[in-house]
Structure 1
């Protein structure tokens, strides 16, 4: 039986095109201000990761060893990740932007036995010993004057003779990747080697990835797909934890100078790139596909990037989550020519049709566990409910979290469906329309309101960049409040005029006519992974205090 270890895809690509560049990244500037780069070929990445894998194995990091990986995007990140896969160890990855205490809680829950990280990671370990109480093996990307820590350089000197990539079955655990926790506690999603293979196959088939493609991944975890897909990964000059504040110029220059054909980015970064590129008249003819995900992508963001590519059909907005990705997709050509007008009328954002091998269904909304599909009520076309998904790229559960598994999985014969925690409806052509998170719906005495359909009405106003619907007050009797993000200073008179115009606009639609409370906020809090998901929970607390103060 063939070894299902995901690292074997790197090995095969190294055998097929050993001289081809696997990873390229910026490395400062020369005396004339030109960006220098450093690179690894597929053969080099394969050889170095094998050496490190042999060194890790000799020091006790073997099959099944849960290993906290705290290394930023770069050469070391690729080498170490594939080295861990080759040993059969299980990398544990969390978002560094979620805050130190939340990170510590996540890591403590995995009971990891090894830590592989940069010097700051080992400092973090000393500050939060409880989270790392089970750590027996420690590796640092640099030499540290501390006992018991093996420097990466020493591992790179290992003789790999006799080392063999660990034999893994498709169902064996490959990694534990934590969700951002944007709508609740962050959870460790268990990825199997089979899940990774299914995701890679789906990405290759749907987006028609070819051997000569060159990718600019602005999200570190997606960068790992590139060596497995045989693509060259060009690491951009940016802070991956702050895509919404990235400088667009070096990113667009990298695309132009390296002939980038593929780019993954969050909606927040796509917005910055589109605005800057359109304003500066930048054209990027090498791009064959742009993939934007992580949060709903507003039509105006897609529209701003069209002049840069010249072809809306190459801009894709797939739907999925850490637990299941990719599931559905649609391109900007269809959105801008057909679905946008319905989005502006409050019908949700179209996320397209299911990918090959994916089943999507809409069931009656429930906040309780659903044991089997016999207990779920599947809804007809046109009715809003919660999304459930089934397919080979859907993960089987969370690490050591039976309560979360109970709430998120529905048994169906020998398999299961995953509850996405999102709301949508299906149209008569098989497309699904996303209406927001289930936990964000506002339950009033008159009925339920859903975030995206309501917010879309306010977002059509030319002076509104984005809005957020929240509910305050007791459950099932909440008062809906719309919050308008207004980064620019406006006078009291202008604000009063805008308020009147927005409330008049809301009154023209049945589902927003009951929203009479409107607040202005300088800058919305957003998720740390994509800088695009609005933290409506935080805005609800803020709105509660704001309105309480106004009443007093």
Structure 2
């Protein structure tokens, strides 16, 4: 019998090989008298057996193979038990970032047409009040149920107790999950993940980072904790709000790392900045991974200084639709810092095998067939495309978005594959390294040619009295006016703002591409994405900039 293609298939194997190894630990809130008030742990045996029981109980409540089920549960043992149970059952969990705009969230839930809604009491209450997911006829509450009916997760687990193994014989092409993008660069879209995509991600992550079983990981972005059991790792789920990594308490994180022997950490650039600013040595860590947006060069340098000399700091490049695409280690990234600060873009490393990454000419139109794409050579900026085992095929119920993001390619042997358009712009250098230049939708189209965010902003971000900058275009078509929005360093007196803007203007005049920028606007605080608190909301900034009075700077 062919083994199931399923991310949860590793659980029974690990439960047999290392039944008492900790699979997951969720420290509770830190109290005045000690670290964890409610320190909950799951061994591999417990994770396997309890997820079996929940899968069997879900089946008794009509949630089985192919059932789309919204999951709105905070990071907790229940979340991970539930997710593995859904995978084992062959059901299709639907995950939406809880922090996105409530109207967009309602649209996402309606678009997914779920048949079940699994959530904490607050989510169930919001479902009724805001009329979320009316198609969901089955309701499961994680926690105390009130007036809305349905079963609790505890009742579901009890109903499936002692049912035995529940792993469905899922095939690679079966739909495994629908993961909605954060919507940080547009309307959130439901990415259709098939079981083969998850399994391929495990293989690529293991090989790219040299991950071996037995390590202890702290994944501060909860969905990544789902990979840990399949990699044979123990997960420490931190006591923090994953939707606000910039507000995480570094003392709690560091205490948990030391208390539980964490040697691997995954976090967004915002979380890395929290740890960098805190400045405490990260002695126990051997591998740190940061993704979601480019990691600022100074943050890379600070984190590298806090890590042991033999530790690695990886920054993978990818997206919800395709991950990982390329990777670069911190030492090499630091060596490219000067080029980045002079307008080269951000180096994201080399493609992860067996991905095939190619650069094509920029167009906003759909490309139905690869024969219609114009492939560019080294040092030419275009759109980044990826073909490989983790490149997803489609968006759920979004044929137009699918057409704009996917290209059908016929291979020499007559088979076909899907090439994913990243929506990012970049180039390959002479050494075969990929450089990210910015989002395609964020390019500023001027009469003298395009300007790209990741080639412009790092130039100005070198100013010591600037927190960060954002390039936006004002106007339509190919004659936009480039505007640099500036977020000043904290505590800089307003009396100094004009001086800094003058210095930025003179700094920009030193480069051919930035010399075209004459408009500089101070913004009190950039809008950022919910998921990583790192991607700047340039669409919102562009709308804001268009309403501001224009005072262009000129040469004295």
Distance in 2, matches of 1:313 and 1:542, equals 43
For residue 488 of structure 1, report the CA deviation from its aligned partner. 2.7
| TM value normalised by structure 1 | 0.96
Counterpart selection for 1:326 from 312, 320, 324 = 324
For residue 47 of structure 1, report the CA deviation from its aligned partner. 0.9
Pairing 1:376–2:373 present: yes
1:349 aligns with: 346
Counterpart selection for 1:396 from 393, 415, 422 = 393
Count how many residue pairs are aligned between Structure 1 and Structure 2. Answer: 545
| Cα offsets for 1:174-227 (capped at 9, x unmatched) | 000000111111000001110000001111111111112000000011111112
Where 1:77 maps in the other structure, the secondary structure is helix
For residue 400 of structure 1, report the CA deviation from its aligned partner. 1.4
Distance in 1, matches of 2:7 and 2:203, equals 12
Distance in 2, matches of 1:275 and 1:368, equals 43
| Cα offsets for 1:319-354 (capped at 9, x unmatched) | 000000011000110111x21111011000000000
2:3 aligns with: 2
2:179 aligns with: 177
CA contact (8 A) 1:302 1:332 kept: yes
* Residues 255-334 of structure 1 mapped to structure 2, 5 A cutoff: 255-277=257-279, 282-311=280-309, 314-334=312-332
Pairing 1:133–2:134 present: yes
Alpha-carbon distance change, 189 to 496 in structure 1, aligned in 2, over 3 angstroms:
same
1:521 aligns with: 523
1:458 aligns with: 460
CA contact (8 A) 1:485 1:524 kept: yes
1:217 aligns with: 219
1:12 aligns with: 13
Distance in 1, matches of 2:446 and 2:163, equals 67
Alpha-carbon distance change, 8 to 517 in structure 1, aligned in 2, over 3 angstroms:
same
Where 2:343 maps in the other structure, the secondary structure is coil
Where 1:132 maps in the other structure, the secondary structure is coil
For residue 32 of structure 1, report the CA deviation from its aligned partner. 2.6
* Residues 380-459 of structure 1 mapped to structure 2, 5 A cutoff: 380-413=377-410, 414-459=416-461
Where 1:170 maps in the other structure, the secondary structure is coil
For residue 490 of structure 1, report the CA deviation from its aligned partner. 3.8
Distance in 2, matches of 1:493 and 1:32, equals 47
Distance in 2, matches of 1:62 and 1:35, equals 36
CA contact (8 A) 2:285 2:308 kept: no
1:481 aligns with: 483
Aligned-residue RMSD, C-alpha: 1.6
Alpha-carbon distance change, 505 to 40 in structure 1, aligned in 2, over 3 angstroms:
same
CA contact (8 A) 1:313 1:333 kept: no
CA contact (8 A) 1:312 1:332 kept: no
Distance in 1, matches of 2:526 and 2:246, equals 12
Distance in 2, matches of 1:496 and 1:178, equals 42
2:113 aligns with: 111
Alpha-carbon distance change, 390 to 177 in structure 1, aligned in 2, over 3 angstroms:
same
Distance in 1, matches of 2:544 and 2:408, equals 39
For residue 73 of structure 1, report the CA deviation from its aligned partner. 0.6
2:413 aligns with: none
Where 2:390 maps in the other structure, the secondary structure is coil
Distance in 2, matches of 1:91 and 1:231, equals 23
Counterpart selection for 1:206 from 208, 211, 224 = 208
Where 1:189 maps in the other structure, the secondary structure is strand
Pairing 1:365–2:362 present: yes
Distance in 1, matches of 2:338 and 2:29, equals 46
Distance in 2, matches of 1:164 and 1:313, equals 39
| Cα offsets for 1:134-161 (capped at 9, x unmatched) | 1111100123233531011112212343
Distance in 2, matches of 1:86 and 1:77, equals 14
1:547 aligns with: 549
Where 1:269 maps in the other structure, the secondary structure is helix
Gaps of 5+ in 2: 411-415
Counterpart selection for 1:503 from 496, 502, 505 = 505
Distance in 2, matches of 1:303 and 1:536, equals 26
Distance in 1, matches of 2:104 and 2:31, equals 40
Distance in 1, matches of 2:45 and 2:308, equals 36
Distance in 1, matches of 2:549 and 2:22, equals 57
For residue 489 of structure 1, report the CA deviation from its aligned partner. 4.4
Pick which of 31-40 and 413-422 moved more.
Answer: 31-40
